[in-house]
Amino acid sequence: MSGIWGWFGGGGSQRTNNAPKNAILGLRAQLDMLQKREAHLMNQINEQDAIARKNVNTNKNAAKTALKRKKANEHALEQTLGQISTLEQQINAIESANINRETLKAMEKASEAMKQIHGKLTVEKVDETMEKLREQNALSDEIVEAMNGVAVGNQVDEDELEDELEQMQQEQLDEQMTKTGTVPVSDAIHKLPAAANGPLKGKAPAVEEDDEEEELRKLQAEMAM
């Protein structure tokens, strides 16, 4: 099956995708081995140092041999530490490069998705659509205004409106005067004393004289009968 995928590029693509992973796995395995070697060399150095100290006064040859082995182990340890540092740098570099590649892929997919969403959408088409919407909204407003207009034959009498407005103004004026304690003229007239609104006292004798003349006429008519 791997051969078939290789013919169509599938196998190569899979190997390309797995290359960073495989490289990192190989580097980490080597790093693990070097770290174990580091620990072993440290033990050897400590062991040879102890032997040298033990024989420094009693057996100088044994002490000198132990120091030589210690120096060799220290040199090997220095090389091992250098290799460990190099491997760690390589692992970090590959991981960073792989993250950058995956990030770029995600951004490319996002770009394709945005392209599919927008499709053939352009700024000019958006402006054209918005202009059509504005025209239709304006037309709708005109239609509503026309439908809400006053129907023919129901024209309002302007004089009637003026009279009603004057009446409303007078009512408001009266109400305002009542609240402020000032009595309107119309109310003042109605509140005058009854004597002021009744007939004048000078007119009373004239009324009485008319009654007397009427009674005289009635007597004259009865005597004539």
| Boundaries of every domain in the chain | 8-119, 162-189
Could you tell me which CATH number the domain at 8-119 has? 1.10.287.1060
How far is Cα 86 from Cα 14, in angstroms, rounded to an integer? Answer: 28
Buried b (16+ CB within 10 A) or exposed e, 189-213: eeeeeeeeeeeeeeeeeeeeeeeee
Can you read off the two tokens belonging to residue 165? 């407005």
The reported pLDDT for the residue numbered 207 is: 52
Global pTM value:
0.46
With vertex at residue 11, the alpha carbon angle to CA 6 and CA 17, rounded to the nearest 5 degrees, is: 155
The reported pLDDT for the residue numbered 107 is: 93
How far is Cα 122 from Cα 111, in angstroms, rounded to an integer? Answer: 16
Tens-digit pLDDT profile for residues 44-60: 999 999 989 988 888 88
Query: Which residue ranges in the chain fall short of pLDDT 70?
Result: 1-17, 149-156, 181-209, 212, 215-225
| CA dist 220 → 170, 207, 210, 214, 217 (Å) | 58, 21, 16, 10, 5
Amino acid letter, residue 221: A
